[in-house]
Amino acid sequence: MNNINIKKITSAGLFLPILSLILVLIINVIKTPNFFYITVQNGVLYGYIIDVINRASELVILAVGMTLVVASSGGTDISVGAVCALAGAVACFILAGGQVSTDIYHAPYVLAFISAILLGLLCGSFNAFLVAKMNIQPMVATLILFTAGRGMAQLVTNGQITYIRVDSFKMLGNSIKGIPLPTPVFVAIAVVAVTFVILKKTALGLYIETVGINNKAARLVGLNPVLIQFIAYAFCGLLAGLSGMIVSSRVYSADANNAGLNIELDAILAVALGGNSLGGGRFSLLGSVIGAYTIQALTTTLYAMSVSADQLPVYKAIVVVIIVSLQSKELQRIIRDIRHSKKKVEIAYEK
């Protein structure tokens, strides 16, 4: 009975993502004994674990969009980092009135926020048109904005960092007075919750999986694969615009060169670490969220081990390869074959 329960647990879809996160957290505790120690400063919670949850917020938001993109098309959107930078640049440009630095708003904050979100939606729709309607391979289609997005952001800001030195602008990326948790945490929770409800309370989640598994078969049963993929990519772009607002708010500026730099790679890794197939089809939104927190916890661990920012991608790649390999069905098959062969040898030896 115990063996059956263990097998049932280990075969669960979220077992390996959760195990990966636990292993990374254990390493953190070993390296930093006070990793889970939380203090309160100026009414705000502080600590390593709070920093992980906070800093992972943008990645969680992008991982949600990337999950739907991967599931519906079997491809990835590598432009989300550049779209983050572009959305933040446009919002700061509007608020600063074209100036390099300002301590007052030159336009309503709501206008800048909506503009950033709509710009993200427009970028996602552009990618959707190329992928869903023009049947261009997703990585090639999104490579256009990946390449041009930051250049467009530089044009918007005239190649300079635009500073918004207004306290209310910092609230989205930092914290609101009287609330102990950083604001990005609540934004990430809201995005995950709303997306989860939409996917579960409507047939959209099933449609995305169906289109991802077999595009032609989905068309034969009456679905519109173009529309489904369009929704996934457009939604991913919208979330990139939202993430861009959070990123710019964290540093109260628009930095076209560094905002969201390489975050698209972490978003793709989060989807993979969450146990999702990058070939499309069935997906786990919660798995991707766990994957995002795993990556941020890993990043925090490496920084705590005095790994420099330049060396960070190397160490991160090694750990990610190990984690992804453990989740590989082929590796699991090889391990099962080895165990089966060993069992045969033991039976033969007993005879």
Nearest to 239 by CA among 66, 72, 29: 66
Residues 332 and 294 in one domain: no
DSSP conformational letter for 40: E
- Domain extent at residue 328: 317-351
Q: How far is the C-alpha of 72 from the C-alpha of 66, rounded, in Å?
A: 10
- Residue 121: the pLDDT is 98
pTM of this structure = 0.91
Q: What is the pLDDT of residue 333?
A: 80
Q: Which of the listed residues 306, 325, 343 is the one where a domain comes to its end?
A: 306
**DSSP secondary structure letters along 125-137:** HHHHIIIIIT---
Kindly state whether residues 124 and 236 are assigned to the same domain: yes
Is 55 part of any domain? yes
Q: Are 175 and 112 in contact (CB under 8 A)?
A: no
Task: Report yes or no on 312 lying in a domain.
Answer: no
Question: 27 and 130 share a domain?
Answer: yes
| Number of independent structural domains in the chain | 2
Same domain for 197 and 56? yes
Same domain, 112 and 243: yes
Same domain, 274 and 336: no
Beta-ladder partners of 102: 164
Same domain, 294 and 240: yes
233 and 210 assigned to the same domain:
yes
Q: Do 323 and 287 sit in the same domain of this protein? A: no
Q: What is the DSSP string of 291-306?
A: HHHHHHHHHHHHHHTT
What is the structure's pLDDT at 348? 65
Q: What are phi and psi of 163, to 5 degrees?
A: -100, 135
Which is nearest to 191 in space by CA: 124, 246, 249?
Answer: 246
**Does residue 90 fall inside a structural domain?**
yes
144 in any annotated domain? yes
Do the domain assignments include residue 103? yes
Could you write out the DSSP letters of every residue in 249-287? HHTTEE-TTTTTTTHHHHHHHHHHHTT--TTSS---HHH
Assess if residue 336 is contained within a domain: yes
Q: Is residue 311 part of a domain?
A: no
For residue 252, tell me if it sits in a domain. Answer: yes
SS3 76: coil
Are residue 204 and residue 72 in the same domain, yes or no? yes
Residues 260, 82 contacting (CB under 8 angstroms): yes
How far apart, in whole angstroms, are the C-alpha atoms of residue 154 and residue 308? 27
Same domain, yes or no: 75 and 49: yes
**Do residues 286 and 344 share a domain?**
no
Predicted pLDDT of residue 35:
84
pLDDT per residue of the chain (351 residues) written in tens, 0 to 9: 455 566 666 666 788 888 889 988 888 888 788 888 999 888 889 988 999 999 999 999 999 999 999 999 999 999 999 999 999 999 999 999 989 999 999 999 999 999 999 999 999 999 999 999 999 999 999 999 999 999 999 999 999 999 999 999 999 999 998 899 999 999 999 999 999 999 999 999 999 999 999 988 899 888 999 999 999 999 999 999 999 999 999 999 999 999 998 899 899 999 988 888 888 888 999 999 999 999 999 888 888 778 887 888 887 778 777 767 776 777 778 877 787 777 776 666 666
